[in-house]
Structure 1
Amino acid sequence: MDLLDFSDCKLYFEDPLPAAAEQLIAQASSEYGEDTAELALLRAHLMAPDNLTVLVGLYRYYFYQHRLDDALMVAERAMQLSGRLLGLSPDWRTLDETRLGTAAANSFGMMRFYLLALKAASVVLLRLGQIDASRDRLIKLAGLDSRDQLGAAKLLEVVDAFHHPAEEPEIQLAAA
Protein backbone atom coordinates (compact mmCIF):
# COMPACT_ATOMS: atom_id res chain seq x y z
CA MET A 1 0.00 0.00 0.00
CA ASP A 2 1.41 3.37 -1.00
CA LEU A 3 0.92 5.63 2.01
CA LEU A 4 1.98 8.65 -0.02
CA ASP A 5 -0.68 8.23 -2.69
CA PHE A 6 -3.72 10.01 -1.40
CA SER A 7 -4.84 11.56 -4.67
CA ASP A 8 -8.06 9.54 -4.81
CA CYS A 9 -9.25 9.94 -1.24
CA LYS A 10 -10.98 12.43 0.99
CA LEU A 11 -8.67 14.27 3.39
CA TYR A 12 -9.49 15.36 6.92
CA PHE A 13 -9.57 19.07 6.10
CA GLU A 14 -12.29 18.51 3.49
CA ASP A 15 -14.87 17.82 6.19
CA PRO A 16 -17.25 20.76 6.53
CA LEU A 17 -16.53 23.18 9.34
CA PRO A 18 -19.06 25.66 10.71
CA ALA A 19 -18.32 29.13 9.34
CA ALA A 20 -17.92 30.56 12.84
CA ALA A 21 -15.36 27.87 13.73
CA GLU A 22 -13.50 28.54 10.47
CA GLN A 23 -13.37 32.25 11.35
CA LEU A 24 -12.02 31.42 14.81
CA ILE A 25 -9.26 29.29 13.31
CA ALA A 26 -8.34 32.15 10.97
CA GLN A 27 -8.38 34.52 13.95
CA ALA A 28 -6.08 32.20 15.91
CA SER A 29 -3.71 32.10 12.97
CA SER A 30 -3.52 35.87 12.72
CA GLU A 31 -3.14 36.24 16.50
CA TYR A 32 -0.53 33.51 16.91
CA GLY A 33 1.71 34.26 19.87
CA GLU A 34 -0.99 36.20 21.68
CA ASP A 35 -3.14 34.78 24.47
CA THR A 36 -6.26 35.28 22.36
CA ALA A 37 -5.09 32.68 19.80
CA GLU A 38 -5.60 29.77 22.17
CA LEU A 39 -8.99 31.08 23.23
CA ALA A 40 -10.08 31.27 19.58
CA LEU A 41 -8.97 27.68 18.98
CA LEU A 42 -10.74 26.46 22.11
CA ARG A 43 -13.93 28.23 21.06
CA ALA A 44 -13.68 26.58 17.64
CA HIS A 45 -13.23 23.25 19.40
CA LEU A 46 -16.39 23.83 21.43
CA MET A 47 -18.30 24.49 18.20
CA ALA A 48 -16.88 21.48 16.36
CA PRO A 49 -15.40 19.06 18.94
CA ASP A 50 -15.12 16.16 16.48
CA ASN A 51 -13.66 18.12 13.58
CA LEU A 52 -10.12 17.02 12.81
CA THR A 53 -9.17 20.38 11.28
CA VAL A 54 -9.82 22.02 14.64
CA LEU A 55 -7.79 19.33 16.41
CA VAL A 56 -4.88 19.78 14.01
CA GLY A 57 -4.97 23.51 14.71
CA LEU A 58 -4.92 22.89 18.46
CA TYR A 59 -2.13 20.32 18.15
CA ARG A 60 0.06 22.67 16.13
CA TYR A 61 -0.58 25.55 18.49
CA TYR A 62 0.34 23.51 21.57
CA PHE A 63 3.31 21.83 19.91
CA TYR A 64 4.87 25.09 18.71
CA GLN A 65 4.16 26.75 22.06
CA HIS A 66 6.08 23.84 23.67
CA ARG A 67 2.99 22.83 25.62
CA LEU A 68 3.76 19.20 24.99
CA ASP A 69 1.37 17.60 27.48
CA ASP A 70 -1.49 19.48 25.80
CA ALA A 71 -0.20 18.54 22.33
CA LEU A 72 -0.08 14.88 23.35
CA MET A 73 -3.64 15.00 24.63
CA VAL A 74 -4.83 16.48 21.32
CA ALA A 75 -2.87 13.94 19.23
CA GLU A 76 -4.43 11.11 21.22
CA ARG A 77 -7.89 12.64 20.79
CA ALA A 78 -7.28 12.84 17.03
CA MET A 79 -6.31 9.15 17.04
CA GLN A 80 -9.43 8.28 19.04
CA LEU A 81 -11.75 10.14 16.66
CA SER A 82 -10.16 8.94 13.43
CA GLY A 83 -9.87 5.41 14.82
CA ARG A 84 -13.53 5.39 15.72
CA LEU A 85 -14.45 6.54 12.20
CA LEU A 86 -12.35 3.67 10.84
CA GLY A 87 -13.79 1.08 13.21
CA LEU A 88 -10.42 0.57 14.92
CA SER A 89 -9.90 -0.44 18.50
CA PRO A 90 -9.13 2.44 20.86
CA ASP A 91 -5.85 0.65 21.61
CA TRP A 92 -3.31 1.38 18.84
CA ARG A 93 -1.34 -1.72 19.91
CA THR A 94 -4.00 -3.96 18.32
CA LEU A 95 -3.43 -2.45 14.88
CA ASP A 96 -2.10 -4.99 12.40
CA GLU A 97 -1.92 -5.31 8.61
CA THR A 98 -5.39 -6.84 8.37
CA ARG A 99 -7.03 -4.07 10.41
CA LEU A 100 -5.00 -1.48 8.50
CA GLY A 101 -6.23 -2.90 5.19
CA THR A 102 -9.83 -2.81 6.36
CA ALA A 103 -9.37 0.76 7.57
CA ALA A 104 -7.79 1.77 4.24
CA ALA A 105 -10.72 0.25 2.33
CA ASN A 106 -13.08 2.26 4.53
CA SER A 107 -11.21 5.56 4.11
CA PHE A 108 -7.61 5.68 2.96
CA GLY A 109 -7.24 9.35 3.84
CA MET A 110 -8.55 8.82 7.37
CA MET A 111 -6.34 5.77 7.86
CA ARG A 112 -3.31 7.82 6.83
CA PHE A 113 -4.40 10.59 9.21
CA TYR A 114 -4.64 8.03 12.03
CA LEU A 115 -1.09 6.79 11.36
CA LEU A 116 0.26 10.34 11.24
CA ALA A 117 -1.50 11.15 14.53
CA LEU A 118 0.18 8.09 16.03
CA LYS A 119 3.53 9.37 14.76
CA ALA A 120 2.76 12.85 16.13
CA ALA A 121 2.08 11.34 19.55
CA SER A 122 5.39 9.48 19.40
CA VAL A 123 7.27 12.69 18.54
CA VAL A 124 5.68 14.50 21.48
CA LEU A 125 6.55 11.60 23.76
CA LEU A 126 10.17 11.87 22.59
CA ARG A 127 10.19 15.56 23.41
CA LEU A 128 8.74 14.75 26.84
CA GLY A 129 11.56 12.26 27.44
CA GLN A 130 9.23 9.25 27.42
CA ILE A 131 11.51 7.30 25.11
CA ASP A 132 10.11 3.81 25.68
CA ALA A 133 6.52 4.92 25.07
CA SER A 134 7.61 6.70 21.91
CA ARG A 135 9.66 3.73 20.69
CA ASP A 136 6.67 1.40 21.15
CA ARG A 137 4.60 3.57 18.81
CA LEU A 138 7.42 3.97 16.31
CA ILE A 139 8.03 0.21 16.25
CA LYS A 140 4.32 -0.36 15.54
CA LEU A 141 4.35 2.23 12.73
CA ALA A 142 7.56 0.88 11.21
CA GLY A 143 6.10 -2.62 11.21
CA LEU A 144 3.02 -1.43 9.32
CA ASP A 145 4.89 0.80 6.85
CA SER A 146 7.36 -1.55 5.16
CA ARG A 147 8.53 1.16 2.73
CA ASP A 148 8.93 3.70 5.56
CA GLN A 149 6.89 6.28 3.72
CA LEU A 150 5.88 7.94 6.97
CA GLY A 151 9.46 7.99 8.27
CA ALA A 152 8.86 6.07 11.49
CA ALA A 153 11.69 3.58 10.87
CA LYS A 154 14.19 6.36 10.19
CA LEU A 155 13.09 8.21 13.31
CA LEU A 156 13.39 4.98 15.29
CA GLU A 157 16.95 4.56 14.01
CA VAL A 158 17.84 8.05 15.22
CA VAL A 159 16.23 7.46 18.62
CA ASP A 160 18.03 4.16 19.05
CA ALA A 161 21.37 5.62 17.95
CA PHE A 162 21.01 8.51 20.36
CA HIS A 163 19.87 6.47 23.35
CA HIS A 164 21.92 3.36 22.66
CA PRO A 165 25.08 4.64 20.99
CA ALA A 166 27.41 2.02 19.58
CA GLU A 167 30.13 1.04 21.95
CA GLU A 168 33.41 2.78 21.34
CA PRO A 169 36.05 0.28 20.29
CA GLU A 170 38.57 -0.39 22.99
CA ILE A 171 42.08 0.55 22.00
CA GLN A 172 44.76 -1.93 22.97
CA LEU A 173 48.25 -0.58 23.26
CA ALA A 174 50.98 -3.07 22.63
CA ALA A 175 54.39 -2.75 24.18
CA ALA A 176 57.12 -2.33 21.63
Structure 2
Amino acid sequence: MNNIWDDEWLKRRYYEGLLPEAAERHLHLAARSYADEVCAEDHLMDAIAIAPEHMVVYLGLYKFYFYKGRLREALATARICLQLSATELGIDRDWRKVMRRQAEFGNFDAPRARFYMFVLKAYGYLHLRLGYLATGRKIMDKLIDLDPTDKIQARVLLEVLLKKEEGEDE
Protein backbone atom coordinates (compact mmCIF):
# COMPACT_ATOMS: atom_id res chain seq x y z
CA MET A 1 0.00 0.00 0.00
CA ASN A 2 1.33 3.43 -0.92
CA ASN A 3 1.86 6.11 1.65
CA ILE A 4 -0.34 9.10 0.77
CA TRP A 5 2.64 11.36 1.44
CA ASP A 6 5.01 9.66 -1.01
CA ASP A 7 6.85 11.41 -3.84
CA GLU A 8 4.12 10.64 -6.37
CA TRP A 9 1.57 12.38 -4.15
CA LEU A 10 3.88 15.38 -3.80
CA LYS A 11 4.33 15.58 -7.60
CA ARG A 12 0.63 15.61 -8.48
CA ARG A 13 -0.65 18.65 -10.35
CA TYR A 14 -4.11 20.12 -9.82
CA TYR A 15 -3.94 23.54 -11.39
CA GLU A 16 -3.57 22.65 -15.07
CA GLY A 17 -0.01 23.89 -15.14
CA LEU A 18 -1.09 27.43 -14.21
CA LEU A 19 0.67 27.31 -10.86
CA PRO A 20 4.45 26.82 -10.95
CA GLU A 21 5.36 23.25 -10.03
CA ALA A 22 7.56 24.36 -7.12
CA ALA A 23 4.73 26.43 -5.62
CA GLU A 24 2.31 23.54 -5.93
CA ARG A 25 4.83 21.22 -4.28
CA HIS A 26 5.07 23.62 -1.33
CA LEU A 27 1.27 23.54 -1.02
CA HIS A 28 1.42 19.74 -0.85
CA LEU A 29 4.27 19.88 1.66
CA ALA A 30 2.23 22.31 3.78
CA ALA A 31 -0.63 19.80 3.80
CA ARG A 32 1.76 17.03 4.77
CA SER A 33 3.20 19.21 7.56
CA TYR A 34 -0.15 20.50 8.83
CA ALA A 35 0.42 19.24 12.38
CA ASP A 36 3.73 21.14 12.53
CA GLU A 37 2.34 24.66 12.34
CA VAL A 38 5.68 26.41 11.80
CA CYS A 39 6.77 24.03 9.04
CA ALA A 40 3.39 24.16 7.28
CA GLU A 41 3.29 27.95 7.39
CA ASP A 42 6.86 28.12 6.05
CA HIS A 43 5.83 26.00 3.07
CA LEU A 44 2.83 28.23 2.44
CA MET A 45 5.02 31.32 2.55
CA ASP A 46 7.45 29.65 0.14
CA ALA A 47 4.57 28.95 -2.24
CA ILE A 48 3.55 32.62 -2.07
CA ALA A 49 7.13 33.75 -2.69
CA ILE A 50 7.25 31.58 -5.82
CA ALA A 51 3.80 32.51 -7.15
CA PRO A 52 2.64 35.77 -5.52
CA GLU A 53 0.20 36.50 -8.35
CA HIS A 54 -1.69 33.20 -8.00
CA MET A 55 -4.82 33.20 -5.87
CA VAL A 56 -4.54 29.53 -4.96
CA VAL A 57 -1.45 30.06 -2.78
CA TYR A 58 -3.27 32.68 -0.73
CA LEU A 59 -6.34 30.49 -0.55
CA GLY A 60 -4.15 27.75 0.95
CA LEU A 61 -2.78 30.19 3.50
CA TYR A 62 -6.30 31.43 4.31
CA LYS A 63 -7.56 27.89 4.93
CA PHE A 64 -4.53 27.12 7.07
CA TYR A 65 -5.09 30.17 9.28
CA PHE A 66 -8.84 29.60 9.46
CA TYR A 67 -8.60 25.94 10.50
CA LYS A 68 -5.84 26.71 12.98
CA GLY A 69 -8.15 29.29 14.59
CA ARG A 70 -5.85 32.17 13.66
CA LEU A 71 -8.77 34.32 12.58
CA ARG A 72 -7.02 37.70 12.48
CA GLU A 73 -4.43 36.30 10.09
CA ALA A 74 -7.20 34.58 8.13
CA LEU A 75 -8.96 37.95 7.84
CA ALA A 76 -5.83 39.64 6.49
CA THR A 77 -5.35 36.81 4.00
CA ALA A 78 -9.03 36.91 2.99
CA ARG A 79 -8.56 40.62 2.23
CA ILE A 80 -5.72 39.73 -0.16
CA CYS A 81 -7.87 37.02 -1.77
CA LEU A 82 -10.72 39.48 -2.17
CA GLN A 83 -8.50 42.05 -3.87
CA LEU A 84 -6.92 39.45 -6.18
CA SER A 85 -10.36 38.11 -7.04
CA ALA A 86 -11.63 41.63 -7.80
CA THR A 87 -8.65 42.30 -10.04
CA GLU A 88 -9.21 39.01 -11.86
CA LEU A 89 -12.88 39.91 -12.31
CA GLY A 90 -12.06 43.45 -13.48
CA ILE A 91 -13.98 45.21 -10.72
CA ASP A 92 -12.99 47.69 -8.02
CA ARG A 93 -10.70 46.21 -5.35
CA ASP A 94 -12.75 48.04 -2.68
CA TRP A 95 -15.79 45.82 -2.04
CA ARG A 96 -17.82 48.87 -1.00
CA LYS A 97 -17.63 50.26 -4.55
CA VAL A 98 -18.63 47.08 -6.37
CA MET A 99 -21.97 47.28 -8.18
CA ARG A 100 -24.32 44.46 -9.18
CA ARG A 101 -24.12 45.32 -12.88
CA GLN A 102 -20.34 44.80 -12.97
CA ALA A 103 -20.49 40.99 -12.98
CA GLU A 104 -22.93 38.07 -12.86
CA PHE A 105 -22.77 37.76 -9.10
CA GLY A 106 -25.96 35.74 -8.74
CA ASN A 107 -25.03 33.30 -11.51
CA PHE A 108 -23.31 30.18 -10.20
CA ASP A 109 -22.26 29.35 -13.77
CA ALA A 110 -19.98 32.41 -13.72
CA PRO A 111 -17.07 30.95 -11.70
CA ARG A 112 -15.05 34.13 -11.20
CA ALA A 113 -18.05 36.10 -9.95
CA ARG A 114 -19.14 33.18 -7.76
CA PHE A 115 -15.65 32.88 -6.31
CA TYR A 116 -15.62 36.62 -5.54
CA MET A 117 -18.91 36.19 -3.67
CA PHE A 118 -17.59 33.28 -1.61
CA VAL A 119 -14.46 35.23 -0.71
CA LEU A 120 -16.55 38.26 0.25
CA LYS A 121 -18.76 36.03 2.38
CA ALA A 122 -15.72 34.57 4.16
CA TYR A 123 -14.38 38.09 4.67
CA GLY A 124 -17.69 39.18 6.20
CA TYR A 125 -17.96 36.05 8.32
CA LEU A 126 -14.51 36.65 9.79
CA HIS A 127 -15.47 40.21 10.66
CA LEU A 128 -18.50 38.87 12.50
CA ARG A 129 -16.51 36.15 14.30
CA LEU A 130 -13.91 38.69 15.41
CA GLY A 131 -16.61 41.01 16.78
CA TYR A 132 -16.39 43.66 14.05
CA LEU A 133 -20.16 43.55 13.78
CA ALA A 134 -20.77 46.87 11.99
CA THR A 135 -18.34 46.03 9.19
CA GLY A 136 -19.54 42.44 9.05
CA ARG A 137 -23.11 43.67 8.63
CA LYS A 138 -22.10 46.06 5.84
CA ILE A 139 -20.38 43.21 4.03
CA MET A 140 -23.44 40.95 4.39
CA ASP A 141 -25.65 43.80 3.13
CA LYS A 142 -23.32 44.18 0.13
CA LEU A 143 -23.57 40.44 -0.58
CA ILE A 144 -27.36 40.63 -0.51
CA ASP A 145 -27.27 43.67 -2.79
CA LEU A 146 -25.00 41.88 -5.28
CA ASP A 147 -27.00 38.64 -5.08
CA PRO A 148 -30.65 39.55 -4.32
CA THR A 149 -31.77 35.92 -4.79
CA ASP A 150 -29.26 35.03 -2.04
CA LYS A 151 -27.65 32.04 -3.72
CA ILE A 152 -24.61 32.74 -1.54
CA GLN A 153 -26.83 32.57 1.58
CA ALA A 154 -25.65 35.78 3.19
CA ARG A 155 -29.07 36.31 4.77
CA VAL A 156 -28.46 33.42 7.17
CA LEU A 157 -25.34 35.09 8.53
CA LEU A 158 -27.13 38.42 8.69
CA GLU A 159 -29.99 36.84 10.68
CA VAL A 160 -27.48 35.40 13.16
CA LEU A 161 -25.98 38.88 13.51
CA LEU A 162 -29.39 40.48 14.06
CA LYS A 163 -30.26 37.91 16.75
CA LYS A 164 -26.93 38.58 18.44
CA GLU A 165 -27.60 42.33 18.36
CA GLU A 166 -31.11 41.81 19.77
CA GLY A 167 -29.67 39.69 22.58
CA GLU A 168 -27.25 42.47 23.50
CA ASP A 169 -30.11 44.98 23.71
CA GLU A 170 -31.99 42.92 26.29
| Bucket of the pairwise TM-score, normalised by the shorter protein | 0.7 to 0.9
Q: 1:63 matched to which residue of 2?
A: 66
**CA positional deviation for 1:108:** 2.2
**CA positional deviation for 1:14:** 5.5
How big is each residue's C-alpha offset from its partner over 1:95-151, in whole Å with a ceiling of 9 and x where there is no partner? 2221134x899x921111111111111111112110111110001101222222111
Separation (CA, whole Å) in 2 of partners of 1:50 and 1:26: 18
Separation (CA, whole Å) in 1 of partners of 2:111 and 2:153: 17
Q: 1:16 matched to which residue of 2?
A: 18
| 1:15 and 1:51 in contact (8 A); partners too | no
Q: 1:46 matched to which residue of 2?
A: 49
Separation (CA, whole Å) in 2 of partners of 1:138 and 1:144: 10
Give the residue type in structure 1 aligned to 2:132: Q
Q: For 1:37, which of 35, 40, 49 is the aligned residue?
A: 40
Q: For 1:135, which of 131, 134, 137 is the aligned residue?
A: 137
Q: TM-score, normalised by structure 2?
A: 0.82
Segments of 4+ moved more than 2 angstroms: 165-168
Q: For 2:90, which of 87, 90, 95 is the aligned residue?
A: 87
Q: CA RMSD in A?
A: 2.3
Give the residue type in structure 2 aligned to 1:132: A
| 1:31 and 1:37 in contact (8 A); partners too | yes
Give the residue type in structure 2 aligned to 1:115: M
**CA positional deviation for 1:85:** 1.7
Separation (CA, whole Å) in 1 of partners of 2:118 and 2:55: 12
SS of equivalent residue, structure 2 residue 22? helix
**CA positional deviation for 1:167:** 7.9
Q: For 2:75, which of 72, 75, 100 is the aligned residue?
A: 72
| 2:106 and 2:150 in contact (8 A); partners too | no
SS of equivalent residue, structure 2 residue 131? coil
Q: 2:4 matched to which residue of 1?
A: none
Mark the structure with the bigger radius of gyration.
1
| Aligned residue pair count | 154
Higher relative contact order at CA 8 Å, sep ≥6: structure 1 or structure 2? 1
Structure 1 regions of 5+ residues with no counterpart? 1-12, 169-176
| 1:45 and 1:54 in contact (8 A); partners too | yes
Return closer, same or farther for 1:135/1:72 CA change in 2, 3 Å cut-off.
same
